[in-house]
Amino acid sequence: MEMITNVSEYEVIAKEKLPKMVYDYYASGAEDQWTLKENRNAFSRILFRPRILIDVSKIDMMTTILGFRISMPIMVAPTGMQKMAHPEGIYATG
């Protein structure tokens, strides 16, 4: 896990470890797969700009989302059937 650097690498591991039916469920979208394709296209347009020689000793990523303070702007949306991949299901996501 220390060597994983992107979602594509997680997909490769998931394909190796999960039963085919479970992997196919997670990897697919509904009906014509249009939303899945559009989501992948949207994420591919997000670029990170490297910051070189910037003081990173005191970074605060706290933000407010829907009135709640969170430590960083990363959230996991509710998804169904997580117990197919892990016995603790959604509890293992936290």
Q: Give pLDDT, residue 5.
A: 85
Task: Please report whether residue 16 resides in a domain.
Answer: yes
Q: What's the pLDDT score for residue 23? A: 93
Question: Structure pTM?
Answer: 0.63
* Domain count of the fold of the chain: 1
Task: State the pLDDT at residue 17.
Answer: 94
Q: Tell me if 10 sits within 8 A of 3, measured CB to CB.
A: no
Q: Is residue 54 part of a domain?
A: yes
Separation of alpha carbons 6 and 17, rounded Å? 17
Residue 79 lies in a domain: yes
**Contact criterion met (CB below 8 Å) for 29 and 36:** yes
Q: Is residue 73 within 8 Å of 65, Cβ to Cβ?
A: yes
Asked whether residue 1 is assigned to any structural domain, the reply reads: no
Q: Is residue 2, in this structure, part of any structural domain at all? A: no
Print pLDDT tens along the chain (94 aa): 678 888 889 899 999 999 999 999 888 888 899 998 998 899 889 888 887 888 888 989 999 999 999 998 887 777 778 899 889 988 887 6
Q: How far is CA 10 from CA 5, 14, 25, 50, in A?
A: 9, 6, 15, 23
The boundaries of the domain holding residue 44 are 7-92
User: For residue 70, what are the contacts with CB-CB under 8 A and spacing of at least 6?
Assistant: 62, 63, 64
Q: Is residue 27 part of a domain?
A: yes
> Is 47 within the bounds of a domain?
yes
